Amino acid sequence: MDVSFVKTPEIQQLLDRAAGVNESGGSPRLKAIMRDLTESVMELIVRHDISESEFWLAMKYLSDSAGEIGLIVPGIGLEHFLDLYMDAKDAEAGLTGGTPRTIEGPLYVAGAPLVEGNVNLSVDEDEGTTVLHMTGHVTGPDGEAVQQAIVHVWHANSKGWYSHFDPTGEQTPFNNRRRIKLGKDGRYAFHSKQPSGYSVPPGGSTDQLMQALGRHGNRPAHVHFFIEAPGYRTLTTQINFGDDPFAEDDFAFGTREGLLPVPSRQGDSAYIQFNFQMQRAADDSDERFSSRARAEAEPQPETETA
């Protein structure tokens, strides 16, 4: 059958009623979006002649995978699409320059210790891994040192697990997570136990989907950042290790040109020198974080910082 079946009066009336189009209450914006969403699903059903059994299999997948939505969204390219869309809107508005944004991912935890100086991120034992030393500065559009910057940094351990989300339960709450308060020179420096790449939980919903698509669920080793400072646009980004086997094949599409430094390796140490450039905020909302729901943990008493 042809997709135009969805455009018949009977289906169009069904869509109007289901989306509350002629009801006075509710949100007009949500009505419009819901109507388009439902209509798109109907068109998919017809275009691919989806059977009742296939449809309910998909619904079961959706309900079973609720806990992995934060992984499925990057895995199917939607989180990267949001970045591309924001970039395109920025370009249209003449807003270019600075460090590229890239996906946040689902593993940030608010409340990490606020520290200063050359910071150690890794509190827990993590045997056999290299020490990563990362340094650089944070400047604005004119090359000025950004004042009062806070660099939120988080990464996995050598097993690819993030504290707070580690199924082995072996990490303390903020291992490999800190908020670094920068001085007037806008310079940052930290060292930590070098992360390994991330893999989606074996056998989980994301893994099942990736396998069914003939794909894998691996990310290269990477380090996440939020950088915030008064007067500047909050930057969400990450660096991925340019020498990782998955550097060119990230399942989450988070690797971008300009964000793939190759560490300089000497003995048991790896060094990355990376400078960030922020854009100026046009208004208050630019300075804020997006309102995405994020994990939160109790701020910890100050731990060692060197």
Using CB under 6 A as the criterion, which residues of the chain lie in contact with ligand MBD when the complex forms? 71, 74, 103, 105-107, 198, 219, 252, 254
Among ligand MBD, Fe ion, none, the one that 191 touches (CB under a kind-dependent 5 to 8 A) is none
Among 74, 75, 105, 263, binds Fe ion (CB under 5 A): 105
CB of residue 197 vs ligand MBD: minimum separation in angstroms? 9
Among Fe ion, ligand MBD, none, the one that 154 touches (CB under a kind-dependent 5 to 8 A) is none
CB of residue 90 vs ligand MBD: minimum separation in angstroms? 21
Three-state SS string over 261-285 comes to CCCEEECCEEEEECCEECCECCCHH
Among ligand MBD, Fe ion, none, the one that 74 touches (CB under a kind-dependent 5 to 8 A) is ligand MBD
Q: Which is nearer to Fe ion, 149 or 223 (CB)?
A: 223
Q: Which is nearer to Fe ion, 205 or 240 (CB)?
A: 240
- In angstroms, the Cα distances linking 250 to 107, 108, 206, 227, 256 are 16, 19, 14, 23, 10
CB of residue 20 vs ligand MBD: minimum separation in angstroms? 35
CB of residue 103 vs ligand MBD: minimum separation in angstroms? 5
Among ligand MBD, Fe ion, none, the one that 71 touches (CB under a kind-dependent 5 to 8 A) is ligand MBD
CA dist., res. 74 & res. 80, Å (int): 7
Q: Which is nearer to ligand MBD, 154 or 232 (CB)?
A: 154
Is residue 74 a contact point for Fe ion (CB under 5 A)?
A: no
Q: Which is nearer to Fe ion, 162 or 276 (CB)?
A: 162
Instruction: Single out the segment in contact with Fe ion by CB under 5 A; choices: 71-79, 91-99, 100-108, 185-193.
Output: 100-108
CB of residue 251 vs ligand MBD: minimum separation in angstroms? 8
Among ligand MBD, Fe ion, none, the one that 197 touches (CB under a kind-dependent 5 to 8 A) is none
Q: What are 123's two structure tokens?
A: 């509190």
Q: Which is nearer to Fe ion, 79 or 228 (CB)?
A: 79
Among Fe ion, ligand MBD, none, the one that 252 touches (CB under a kind-dependent 5 to 8 A) is ligand MBD
Q: Which is nearer to ligand MBD, 198 or 276 (CB)?
A: 198
Quote the distance between the C-alpha of residue 171 and its chain's center: 21
What are the residues binding Fe ion (CB under 5 A)? 105
